[in-house]
Structure 1
Amino acid sequence: MFAQASLIALLSGSAFAGTTIWSGSFNPFPNVSVFDEWSWADEVGTYQWYIHGTEPTSHYLALSPSYKNPADTAEVNGLMATIDSTAEWNSDMERTELIPQTTQNLGVGNLFYHFSLSTDPTGLNAPDSTLEHQILFFESHFTEIKYGVAPNPTDLQWMVSSQFQWGTPLVPGTWYNFAYDIDFTAQTVGLWFSTGGSPLTKVENNVAAPTSTNSEDFHVGVLRIVNTPAPENWYISGVYIENGPITTAIGSGNSTGSSSSASSSSSATSVTSTTPTTTISTPSSTPTATVPEYAQCGGTGYTGPTACASPFTCTAISPPYYYQVSRKLTRNLLNIEFES
């Protein structure tokens, strides 16, 4: 009887778990030099690695058990992503970012984009709340975490198309677990959240958003808008993408389902959602749509709009593979206007 009950419990628990369609685990990387094995000529491994400064990879990336959520038992190491004045990439922006390398379609149906964030518990190389940060974002910025922006610069804030939806104070050493709940069919996005080892709960219902991805424009890293010498370290772990239903457990790979009994940290502050009033039409329905700053506007395999919002231009970042909307700066040697 006990064995039968255990089997039923196991089956009922696993029924809630989604299927991982892309794993961003850092377990395949014994050291950061492995990231350098990827190139446009040899697209190997889990991640594309080209958005960074001129220093060696070890200057911007580090792997250690200290950089992962301790509750994430599936991970051996977490990643520390560093930005500083040497991380200048594409004008004055400092960027250290990884992008999925995959042939899997990461933009269809209802998918959950999971990741965990933290900073050094001692406050070493802490983020500057006076500067805008864009964290774990899509190229079109339809969903992202921001820091150093209104209305609460010292909070991690979930934004949808640059509109504030929800936030929680950033406390050094605290692990923040997120899952973007993206319905690419309905064109909506919601947010699941917890801290430490607590199961994810849905803190914000889905709102309208111009959801789209070419499956290689999810930026696992940090962008700091203004160049400044002060270094910052961000810890990242638990990165994976699954189809529904969502896995709410942190690290074990077993789901607790979407039970309302799971609670998030008391430090989280939920603010009434504001549905964005402006959306960008999908390329298939509105080919003449304008692309906002920092979004992709061209490159190999890209089928979206190429007309840039004023006063920006479509700039070659890694031609012929990737073009992005940015200000046209003559000092940027890669600033070549893309001909649509």
Structure 2
Amino acid sequence: MIAFKWAVLSAFSVAVQAGTILWNGSFSQFSTVADFDKWSWANQVGPYQWYIHGSQATSHYLALDTSYKNPAISSESHGLKMTIDSGATWNSQMERAELIPQTTANLGSGQQYYHFSLKRSATNAPDSTLEHQIAFFESHFTELKYGVGSKPTNLVWMIGGVEKWSTPFTADTWFNFAYDINFSSSTVGLWASTGSSPLVRVVANQAASTSTNSADFHVGVLRIVNRNPPEDWYWSGVYIESGSLTTTIGTGSSGSPTGTTPVTTPTTSDPVPTSTVETTTTPAGPTQTQFGQCGGNGYNGPTTCASPYTCVAVSPPYYSQV
């Protein structure tokens, strides 16, 4: 594992025009959690797709409150508490609750910055003995993890399943992140801070398999093992921008973020191994649809993927997904 201090590789702080917001995931757009249920495949409204969760009411998994947001983000009226438990399963035996951008914007081209703030508390704390996949893409080319590696109580940032940076995941601390993704050059880097501190670059851009689409970013948590007790995860300040990177946390208004840092992509990068991919060559038998489970320990369902998809070992040997 490679450890970094917060200020390592930090860029100059310059007041320039803010980046262009491509998609706004602020939870201020929801008056109650019932608003999440307004979205469906037949009625694709609002900023999020909400279908990856268990069978109970949305209020069992999501809650809105002013105390659930990063207080530094004054433009956001409330944040989101997301709960996973033994009933939070969707199309697998893994605990998961995930929101996905609902947008016609192209979130997978050029250079873009995926912003979010994350917190846990001492109540319903995440289990550090179990692997958690957090704020991930379907192909898992970059993501946060918890409960893995040599320091399982750390938040660990990964590229293609390889640890690149980590920090202790202390209770009641807001951790701010921006995934710096250059889809044109296939590189990804990380900006981070805590509380109200501005983002600094903690990992320079490195090679990654950045294939994605506009419905690929999962704002949520997938826990590999399904068992009680429940866990609470808090989210705030979610948005995606292009152009200049907004480094300030909070804007003070409902408009575009201010306080940006011009970013240049490093000319050198370290090669990163891509995720292991399991493919099937025999079309016989039933096929699994997109986002369905297609392999893993104890799995007895379809392993052949519907065209043009392939079966990806999301967390080998426990779970593979189309």
Q: Distance in 1 between matches of 2:37 and 2:300?
A: 27
CA distance in 2, matches of 1:142, 1:336: 22
Cα contact 2:124–2:229 (8 A) shared by 1: yes
Distance 1:126 1:323, change over 3 A: closer
The superposition leaves residues 99-143 of structure 1 with CA deviations (integer Å, 9 ceiling, x where unpaired) of 0000000001000000000012xx000010000000000000001
* 1:323–1:233 distance in 2 versus 1, CA, 3 Å: closer
Number of matched pairs:
279
Q: Which of 247, 251, 255 is the equivalent residue of 2:259? A: 255
> What's the CA shift for 1:325?
5.2
Matched, 1:279 2:274: yes
**TM-score after normalising by structure 2:** 0.81
Displacement of 1:63 in angstroms is 0.5
Q: Is the 8 A contact 1:200 1:249 kept in 2?
A: yes
Is 1:339 the counterpart of 2:306? The answer is yes
Work out the CA distance in 1 between the residues paired with 2:197 and 2:287: 43
Alignment correspondent of 1:4: none
Contact 2:280 2:305 in 1 (8 A): no
Question: How many Å separate the matches in 2 of 1:146 and 1:172?
Answer: 16
| Aligned residue among 250, 264, 288 for 1:315 | 288
Over the matched positions of the two proteins, sequence identity in percent amounts to 57
C-alpha displacement at 1:165, in angstroms?
0.2
CA distance in 2, matches of 1:291, 1:337: 13
Distance 1:178 1:314 in 2: 37
1:107 is matched with: 108
Per-residue displacement from partner, 1:237-268 (whole Å, max 9, x unpaired)? 10000002100000112114259xxxxxxxxx
Aligned equivalent of 1:300: none
Q: Give unpaired runs (5+ residues) of structure 1.
A: 1-11, 260-273, 281-289, 293-306, 317-321
Q: 2-side partners of 1:56 and 1:308: how far apart?
A: 37
Counterparts of 1:8-23 in structure 2, within 5 Å, are 13-15=15-17, 17-23=18-24
**Corresponding residue for residue 61 of structure 1:** 62
Partner of 2:295: 327
Counterpart in the other structure of 1:42? 43
Q: CA deviation at 1:14?
A: 3.8
In the other structure, the counterpart of 2:30 is: 29
**1:131, 1:148 within 8 Å by CA — same for their partners in 2?**
yes
Q: Distance in 1 between matches of 2:280 and 2:238?
A: 31
Specify the code of the residue in structure 1 equivalent to 2:295: R
CA distance in 2, matches of 1:209, 1:178: 18
Q: How does 1:81-96 map to 2 (within 5 A)?
A: 81-96=82-97
Distance in 2 between residues matched to 1:63 and 1:162, nearest whole Å: 32
Contact 1:13 1:256 in 2 (8 A): yes
Report if aligned partners of 1:248, 1:258 keep a CA contact under 8 Å in 2. no
Query: What's the counterpart of residue 266 of structure 1?
Result: none
Kept in 2, the 8 Å contact 1:323–1:338? The answer is no
Q: Distance in 2 between matches of 1:314 and 1:241?
A: 34
Q: Do the aligned partners of 1:314 and 1:325 also contact (CA within 8 Å) in 2?
A: no
Inter-partner Cα distance in structure 2 for 1:137 and 1:308: 25
The CA distance in 1 between the partners of 2:104 and 2:23, in whole Å, is 10
Query: 2-side partners of 1:58 and 1:36: how far apart?
Result: 10
Question: In the alignment, is the contact (CA less than 8 A) between 1:161 and 1:276 conserved in 2?
Answer: no
**Contact 1:136–1:144 at 8 Å: present in 2 too?**
yes
Q: Could you report, residue by residue, the CA deviation over 1:13-71 in whole angstroms, capped at 9, with x for unpaired residues?
A: 242x2111100011110000010111111111110000000110000000111111000
| Structure showing greater relative contact order (alpha-carbon pairs closer than 8 Å, 6 or more residues apart) | 2
Bigger radius of gyration among the two:
1
Q: Could you tell me which amino acid in structure 2 is paired with residue 82 of structure 1?
A: T
Hey, what does 1:52 align to over in structure 2?
A: 53
Output the CA distance in 1 between the equivalents of 2:305 and 2:181. Answer: 30
Instruction: Determine the structure 2 residue equivalent to 1:151.
Output: 150
| Corresponding residue of 2:216 | 217
1:330: Cα distance to partner?
6.8
| Distance of 1:204 and 1:38 partners within structure 2 | 36
